Amino acid sequence: MEALLIAGLGNPGAQYALNRHNAGFILADAIHAEYRFGPWRAKFEGLLSEGELAGRKTYLLKPQTYMNDSGNSVGPALRFFKLPLESLVVAHDEIDLAAGKLKVKKGGGDAGQNGLRSITATLGPDYRRVRIGIGHPGEKHKVTGHVLQNFSNADLDWFKPMLDAMMEAAPLLAKDDDKGFMNKVALILTPPKPEKAKDKKKDEL
C-alpha cells in the first residue's frame, strides 16, 4: 500500500498556536505524540515527520506558509513522494459544521476555507478532508475574528475530548476507512446509556 500524507492546516507562530483556525495543526501534533513519529524537520515549506499508522508508512505535514498558501507546501510534498491524490488527508477547521461535529469527506468545494482553496488550486479537489467543526459566529464579517481567536475554555470542554477521540481513531484513516473513523470518534464521545433500573418485584422473586 502506498504511503499516506496527513496535512494538518494552520498558521505558524506561537501567537496562532491555540487559534480555532489551527485545529489541523493541533491534530497533527496529537497524532505525532501518540504514535511516536520521528522528529519534525523543515521540508516542503513546512514541518514534516515520518512514522506509521496501522502498519502504513505515514507522513505528517504542517505547512509553514500561512493558511492561504497551504498548497505551496502540500503540493510539492505529495509530488515528491509520488503519491496519488487519494493518499492525501487534509485536517482543517470548518465553520460550516457546528462546534464539536466531525465529518470526513472526499472532494467537494472549499466552503471559503482558504487552505483548501490553495490546495485545490494546486492539486485538484479529489483529496480526503477531516473537517473539524468550530461553529459559525453567525455573521460573515465576524468569521475572521472567530477563526483567529483562541479556543475558549468553553470550547475546550468539547475540543479536548474530540481531539483525543480523533487521535485514537487515526489508524482507521490509514486503512482508508473514513466512515469507520467517524463512527469510532462518535462512539468514544457518546456517553454510555445508564442501565435501566431493575424491576424491584423481579428482584424480590
- Which of these ranges, 2-16, 152-166, 188-202, has the smallest mean pLDDT? 188-202
Q: Can you give the pLDDT at residue 111?
A: 84
For residue 99, the domain's CATH number is 3.40.50.1470
Q: Can you give the pLDDT at residue 193?
A: 75
How many domains does the chain contain in total?
1
Question: Among this protein's residues, is 21 annotated catalytic?
Answer: yes
Q: Can you give the pLDDT at residue 199?
A: 53
Q: Is the pLDDT of residue 198 over 60?
A: no
Task: State which residues form the domain around 92.
Answer: 4-204
Vertex 54: Cα angle to 52 and 59 (nearest 5): 30
Is the pTM higher than 0.75?
yes
Q: Which residue among 21, 32, 92, 146 is the active-site one?
A: 21
Q: Is the pLDDT of residue 201 over 60?
A: no
For 17-46, what is the mean pLDDT? 98
The pLDDT tens digits of the residues spanning 145-159 come to: 999 999 999 999 999
Vertex 136: Cα angle to 154 and 62 (nearest 5): 80
